């Protein structure tokens, strides 16, 4: 079960410019999947995300963090509420309840399926664990097997870590949905 090990990898993808831009945001596109993973974008950089190919956002930060920092409000102001979803997860390394993240994963998968030019940014605070989990879930929803989904996020997001409990949460949810 190599997929379930916490693994780090990294090689950026050049869609919309790999690595940090002038605002310092590392936006890493996952191959040709039109999914980007990053840490939380600075408020002054949110409006410029569209220039880098982002059309929709999934924010994986907890409610108190987005309330305090205002990043979810800034994203909704810049992109519109219908283009921003929230998956308010804590990064505790334990099972993630689907009630918190599944709707956001379905949102991202649906956008990518229905809009061929869409680019979805999935972010948490550091872009290492929660956003990687949600990116993995979106790839699984889009038909990738466990190994391929894990390989994609680990290959293209530097510092990505697939937490075993998070991967099990996704796989249990998928099994229950079938």
CA atoms of 108 and 100, how far apart (whole Å): 14
Instruction: Look at residue 14 and tell me whether its pLDDT is greater than 50.
Output: no
Domains and CATH numbers, the chain: 23-177 (3.90.190.10)
Q: What local confidence, expressed as pLDDT, does residue 100 receive?
A: 97
**pLDDT band per the 50, 70, 90 thresholds, residue 23:** low
Strand partners of residue 175 = none
Q: What local confidence, expressed as pLDDT, does residue 7 receive?
A: 30
Q: What local confidence, expressed as pLDDT, does residue 65 receive?
A: 92
End-to-end CA distance of the chain: 22
Structure tokens, 62: 């907890």
Q: What local confidence, expressed as pLDDT, does residue 22 receive?
A: 42
Mean pLDDT of the chain: 88
């Amino acid at each position: 079960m190599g997929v379930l090990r916490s693994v780090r990898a990294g090689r950026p993808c050049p869609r919309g410019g790999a690595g940090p831009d002038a605002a310092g945001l590392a936006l890493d596109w996952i191959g040709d999947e039109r999914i980007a993973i990053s840490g939380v974008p600075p408020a002054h950089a949110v409006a410029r995300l569209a220039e880098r190919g982002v059309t929709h956002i999934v924010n994986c930060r907890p409610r108190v963090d987005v309330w305090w920092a205002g990043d979810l409000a800034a994203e909704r102001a810049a992109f519109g509420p219908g283009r921003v979803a929230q998956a308010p997860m804590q990064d505790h390394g334990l099972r993630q309840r689907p009630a918190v993240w599944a709707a956001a994963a379905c949102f991202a998968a649906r956008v990518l399926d229905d809009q061929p030019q869409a680019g979805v940014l999935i972010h948490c605070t550091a872009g290492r664990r929660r956003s990687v989990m949600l990116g993995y879930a979106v790839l699984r929803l889009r038909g990738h097997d466990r190994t391929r989904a894990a390989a994609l996020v680990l290959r293209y997001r530097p510092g990505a870590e697939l937490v075993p409990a998070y991967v099990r949460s996704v796989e249990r949810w998928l099994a229950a949905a079938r």
